[in-house]
Amino acid sequence: MEQADVARLAAIIKEDYSPDRLETGVSEPTLVEAEDGFKVLTLPREQMFEPFRSLHLLDAAALGDLLVVTFRWDDGNDDGTIFLLPLDTRDVELDMDSDTSVTTFVDHHLTWTLGGPRESWEGTRVTRLSERFAIVRPYDQRRRR
């Protein structure tokens, strides 16, 4: 994957997982008319599926061939830990001309890695570097881990 493509993935994460996008401002499920005229069911954050409910994005960046997502996890038990989720994109093959493929890849990367309660991914894929700083190894679909 080209470094410009990695930067595009980071930009998509920053847009789709931003606090502005995930903090919907509704207190109960509500039909909202989108810019394109379609009505969309909008949920309060506490009713969203993981990782949308608990992931609090701090930043996403392209560092050469690495895509790095920095976040907090607030599932009601936020202990102040900052997590880094790096992804080595050198072996990623993705049709960057297909918006659907790109957004699906981003969503799957985060959902497969962080899609359950913190205990489901922290115990097996997290390396703590200090009391409140840790690195999360992304779920690798090819190796099933």
Tens-digit pLDDT profile for residues 56-100:
999 999 999 999 999 999 988 889 999 999 999 999 999 999 999
pLDDT score, position 34: 83
pLDDT score of 145 more than 70:
no
* Residue 61 in domain: yes
Q: Is 65 among the domain residues?
A: yes
Q: Would you state the structure tokens that stand for residue 121, as one six-digit string?
A: 């991914």
pLDDT, tens digit (0-9, with 9 covering 90-100), for 30-46: 998 888 899 989 999 99
Tell me the residue range of the domain where 39 lies. 3-136
Q: Does 115 map to a domain? A: yes
- Check pLDDT > 80 for residue 132: yes
Q: With respect to residue 29, please indicate whether it lies within any of the assigned structural domains.
A: yes
**143 found inside a domain:** no
Q: Determine the pLDDT at residue 35.
A: 84
Predicted TM-score of the model (pTM): 0.88
Contacts of 98 by beta carbon, 8 Å cutoff, 6+ apart: none
Contacts of 116 (CB under 8 A, 6+ apart): 50
Please give the share of the chain, as a percent, with pLDDT higher than 90: 73
**Number of domains forming the structure of the chain:** 1
Give the pLDDT band of residue 124 (cuts 50, 70, 90).
confident
Q: Report if residue 124 sits inside a domain.
A: yes
Find out whether 86 and 66 touch, Cβ atoms under 8 Å. yes
Task: Classify residue 144: in a domain, yes or no.
Answer: no
Q: Kindly state the tokens that stand for 136.
A: 């999360």
Residue 35's SS3 state is coil
Q: Is residue 77 part of a domain?
A: yes
DSSP 36-65: TS-EEEE--GGGSPTTTTTEEEEEEEEETT
